[in-house]
Structure 1
Amino acid sequence: MNLGNYLQGREGFLAFLTYQHASLAFQTVLVGTILAVLVAVAVYRLPLFATLTLTTSRIALTIPSLALLALLIVPFGLGVVPSFIMLAFFAAMPVVGNAIVGLRSVPESVIESAKGIGFSQRRILVQVALPMAWPVILTGIRVSTQMVVGVAAIVAYVLGPGLGSLIFNGLSRLGGTNALEMAATGTILIVVIALVFDALLVLLGRLTIAKGLR
């Protein structure tokens, strides 16, 4: 395998695929996180619904991603739309569970103290509960991001964007010219994206989590 020769002259093309992959992962994690936190906020004070949501989110993670993607082809066709929906769905699952756990772990004494000084329920949520739950939520986001960056490779199955096309094309041409180099390049770049995103999330945690909660 001569990876160096394969990369020569393909820098722009590989940079474009890398950007597509990273952009798709970022957008789906962002959307999934927002939806997950909204769901967690809606159910965390309702024990039955919180438990059902936690259980559902864990079961949902066992759904084969390729099977879900194939089902989405029927209503949405090929391309970006089924890819985005599938990835956003999987992105939300680890976050919603962590968000519920984080919000429910806020000490009741802290909530009562906030009520005692006149905080409204909304203010308690925004200024007390969510900041205290943020370290746990961020852990869920990190897990979600790593999973989505990897799973995003399979969207090439439905002609979705990103580095998966390199891996699929390389594997389909094994034994041919540059087939192994193509698959290896896609895999390596996906790992690089995952490492960069995780480093950025660690930095975000250091900037946004109060020292007393670390």
Structure 2
Amino acid sequence: MSFSEYLDREWPDIAVLMTQHAQVVLIAVGIAAALGVGLGVALAGRPRAARVALSVAGTMLTIPSLALFGLLIPLLGLGAGPTIVALVLYAVFPILRNTVTGLESVPAAVEDAARGMGLGRWERARRIRLPLAWPVVLAGVRTATMMSVAIAAIAAAVNGPGLGELIFDGLARIGGANALNQVLAGTLGVTLLALALDLLFVVLSRLTTSRGIS
């Protein structure tokens, strides 16, 4: 069976797997964004604490994904649980790094003016610093999302949802009927999903970034 024939026959199932893949990535990145941005704001103006937090978060990226998934099985079992937790642990670092970098790039004169207006620390962060740092913060979320799309495919090793199921099944049956088509379909699906989410962030950036700082 040709690849086009395989896609025509299996497209409904592939679309379901792609939807599951997108859901698990967006859930994980959403959690990581809340953690990364919140921690970044809390650490603003505390360079030593920020370095420690970045070092800890960066260390997670050195753990091979298969090893991390394996370590999470005794705690969370198989399926979406370990997949989401692992993706969150990987996604926090780029979001936290860009949040800290973006907040630090806000001109001191702007910060002083806001302080002179009587704005407190959290009010300055919400109304002044975060809006100015938003393009940098969003770039970190975008990077985390692209990374998570790829890592989520490996989560099929722990029965995680998504397109990795096609890739792993195909590799396990390599040489068999439609095995190569499965691998190609899974790989193509991951690529198309990454492109679609990247385009979404381009649109989101244009809609949410003030023209004065874009």
TM-score band, normalised by the shorter chain?
over 0.9
1:10 CA drift (Å): 1.7
Q: Tell me the TM-score normalised to structure 2 length.
A: 0.96
Identify the residue that residue 164 of structure 1 maps to in structure 2: 164
- What letter is aligned with 1:18? M
CA RMSD of aligned residues (A): 1.2
1:66 CA drift (Å): 1.1
Identify the residue that residue 198 of structure 1 maps to in structure 2: 198
Identify the residue that residue 5 of structure 1 maps to in structure 2: 5
Are the equivalent residues in 2 in contact too, given 1:146–1:198 (CA < 8 A)? yes
Identify the residue that residue 178 of structure 1 maps to in structure 2: 178
After TM superposition, where is structure 1 displaced by more than 4 Å over at least 4 residues in a row? none
Identify the residue that residue 66 of structure 2 maps to in structure 1: 66
Cα deviations across residues 21-40 of structure 1 (Å, max 9, x unaligned)?
01111111111111111111
Identify the residue that residue 101 of structure 2 maps to in structure 1: 101
Instruction: Provide the rounded CA distance (Å) in 2 between the counterparts of 1:104 and 1:177.
Output: 56
Are the equivalent residues in 1 in contact too, given 2:57–2:89 (CA < 8 A)? no
Q: Which runs of 5+ in 1 are unaligned?
A: none
What is the total number of aligned residue pairs between the two structures? 214
Cα deviations across residues 88-130 of structure 1 (Å, max 9, x unaligned)?
1111111011111111121111011011122222221101011
Instruction: Provide the rounded CA distance (Å) in 2 between the counterparts of 1:5 and 1:129.
Output: 53
- What letter is aligned with 1:204? L
- Partner-residue secondary structure (3-state), 1:8: helix
Indicate the percent of aligned positions where both proteins have the same amino acid. 42
- Partner-residue secondary structure (3-state), 1:213: coil
Q: Counterparts in 2 of 1:1-214, with a 5 A limit? A: 2-214=2-214
Instruction: Provide the rounded CA distance (Å) in 2 between the counterparts of 1:189 and 1:2.
Output: 17
- What letter is aligned with 1:30? G
- Partner-residue secondary structure (3-state), 1:34: helix
Instruction: Provide the rounded CA distance (Å) in 2 between the counterparts of 1:53 and 1:105.
Output: 18
Instruction: Provide the rounded CA distance (Å) in 2 between the counterparts of 1:53 and 1:144.
Output: 17
Q: Tell me the TM-score normalised to structure 1 length.
A: 0.96
